[in-house]
Amino acid sequence: MNPQEQWAPYLKRCEALAKEAASRGEAAVGSVLVRNGKVIAEAMESTRSSEDVSAHAEMEVIRKARSFLGTDLSDCVLVSSKEPCLMCSYAIRYHRILTVVYQEPSGMLGGAAGAYPLLLSREVPENWGPPVQCTQMNDKKALG
Ligand SMILES: [Zn+2]
């Protein structure tokens, strides 16, 4: 199975969550956390409704998983409709998530392809683990 096929179902779920967020007046972002092939947490952007700038979809999905898995999420894959920003990248590294799959780039604040690629950096605290393997899936047609 190629990566496109492997991650398409999760990205589709992220897209559905992103659409739901947009329908609520939020930025269109949805994220899921996958462990052993199963979605263990999902979240959508909620910064406006919660009046909390940290309520990005990626932060919310990490908060949910952390509540029952603790701080070591190294066996989880974060899948998101958008490239995690710097703030979310900090949380991803802190929780030692090793793989991120996303669809849309986030420009200069993106944690993988932006001006400060925190997801890929080796200049982080030792206990954060190795750089994150980031994969951008940009072929929307493949998602059907
Ligand atoms: Zn973010």
Report the separation in Å between the CA atom of 73 and the middle of ligand 1, taken as the mean of its atom positions.
17
pLDDT value at residue 4:
80
pLDDT value at residue 138:
75
3-state helix, strand, coil in the chain (%, to 5): 40, 20, 35
Report the separation in Å between the CA atom of 143 and the middle of ligand 1, taken as the mean of its atom positions.
23
pLDDT (tens place) for every residue of the chain, 144 residues total: 787 889 999 999 999 999 999 999 999 999 999 999 999 999 999 999 999 999 999 999 999 999 999 999 999 999 999 999 999 999 999 999 999 999 999 999 999 999 999 999 999 999 998 999 999 997 655 444
Report the separation in Å between the CA atom of 88 and the middle of ligand 1, taken as the mean of its atom positions.
4
Report the separation in Å between the CA atom of 111 and the middle of ligand 1, taken as the mean of its atom positions.
9
pLDDT value at residue 48:
97
Active site residues: 58
Report the separation in Å between the CA atom of 35 and the middle of ligand 1, taken as the mean of its atom positions.
21
Residues near ligand 1 ion, CB 5 Å cutoff: 56, 85, 87-88
Report the separation in Å between the CA atom of 108 and the middle of ligand 1, taken as the mean of its atom positions.
12
How would you label 7-44 residue by residue, b for 16+ Cβ within 10 Å and e otherwise? bbebbebbbebbeebeeeebebbbbbbbeeeeebbbbb
pLDDT value at residue 141:
52
Looking only at the bridges linking them, the beta strands covering 76-82 and 99-104 are parallel
